Structure 1
């Protein structure tokens, strides 16, 4: 199932390479957050925006930067894929590796602050900032809404991200969270 994870990681890489130059830098990682902050119309000085920027900076330092095999400060697709394969092996490490950044994203996506992400919020944020094609947003959202409530609570959101980064199930709804994984 390493092939599936590699495809998911490649899809994430395409979104993380915000300037399209074929590598991820610290600036790319921070720009990912800026896209979500802008789509949310949150001020860059807001508490949530500042938490996200700090979380992404820590994600860069603790997870992404160590993947830099040649020390050039730029992570290419091969380095990132190999690095994710090594770093993201144990879903029990999700709280240390991804959860704090995911909580910040959840807070940005939850536009009305009701601790749930509805379909419209999901479409607005993942469609505008995540570059998920609008027509795919509804399909992905419906697949992630495991209890059929019409919303994603924080637990469902975390389950989706954990499945995306650590999971090997080819039929998992979270596989397409950052765009359709093909192949």
Structure 2
């Protein structure tokens, strides 16, 4: 999961090793995801509800996004809702 770690490290602007909600929202805003979608996604990805996303939570979300068959898996909210 080196790519996920590299993305996280790049977005971790205060270099504390985790993503705050502001860092997460800024990262996805660059990709065209509005805060309307990234703020609720952050809440879903912060599985331990400590107010930050750690490397483990982000890696798990990436795996969920690509491999989960559970439509409610937190990682399936990385980029906001998908229109059918």
TM-score greater than 0.5 by the shorter chain: yes
Residue of 30, 40, 45 corresponding to 1:144: 45
- In the alignment, structure 1 residue 155 sits paired with structure 2 residue 56: yes
TM-score, normalised to structure 1's length? 0.44
- In the alignment, structure 1 residue 167 sits paired with structure 2 residue 45: no
Aligned-residue RMSD, C-alpha: 1.0
- The aligned counterpart of 2:22 is 120
For the pair shown, the structure with the greater C-alpha radius of gyration is 1
The structure with the greater share of residues assigned to helix is 1
Task: Return the alpha-carbon distance in structure 2 between the equivalents of residues 142 and 165 of structure 1.
Answer: 19
Deviations 1:98-153 (A, max 9, x none): x11111101011111101101000011111x2211111111000011000000000
Structure 2 regions of 5+ residues with no counterpart? none
Task: Return the alpha-carbon distance in structure 2 between the equivalents of residues 108 and 157 of structure 1.
Answer: 13
TM-score, normalised to structure 2's length? 0.92
The structure with the greater share of residues assigned to strand is 1
Structure 1 regions of 5+ residues with no counterpart? 1-98
Residue of 12, 29, 32 corresponding to 1:110: 12
| Alignment check: 8 A CA contact 1:175 1:181 kept | no
Structure 1 runs (4+) greater than 6 angstroms displaced: none
Task: Return the alpha-carbon distance in structure 2 between the equivalents of residues 146 and 130 of structure 1.
Answer: 23
Task: Return the alpha-carbon distance in structure 2 between the equivalents of residues 172 and 160 of structure 1.
Answer: 8
